[in-house]
Amino acid sequence: MVFLLAIYKQNYKNMYRVTKTYGHDRGYSCAFRQWSAKTHCQNIHGYSLGFKIVLESPTLDINNWVYDFGKFSFLDNWLTKTFDHTLLVAKDDPELVLLQSLDRRAAQVIVLDKISCESFAELTYNHISKKLKDVDVNVVSVEVSEHSSNSASYFGD
């Protein structure tokens, strides 16, 4: 038992963790479709997405915080640009040309590599990680939810 505790302590260092949440009430309302689905998800549908970001650090800043949430404007702006009143389209969607023709006429079209809450979580994780690369803060995970029943997460190394 002591041996297992020593291994646990070696692999799991002391860390502080914080969570930043952007709820469904924030209004990141976007539409998308999973064109290859064999269900009604192949049709364009929309959600007001929710985001939950978990950060960790072995140290605290001068304010005794893992990260100053007031400095998250880079994320607020990016989430708004990417997920607020947008039509998200997969680059391999067979109707890509048709859907792109709606851009600036009937929709703000954003073309992404993949469409799913899993891929939205990964995309968001990567965006935050790039912005925080020069501080002693790690992104643990990003969870994206369509509503209270469906969510997907992406975890880093």
Topology of 14-84+115-155 in CATH? Tetrahydropterin Synthase; Chain A (3.30.479)
pLDDT greater than 60 at residue 10: no
pLDDT for the residue 11: 54
What amino acid occupies position 47? Y
Mean pLDDT of 115-126: 98
Domain boundaries, the chain: 14-84+115-155
Q: What is the pLDDT of residues 19-66, one digit of tens each?
A: 999 999 998 999 999 999 999 999 999 999 999 999 999 999 999 999
pTM: 0.90
Tokens of 123: 């995309």
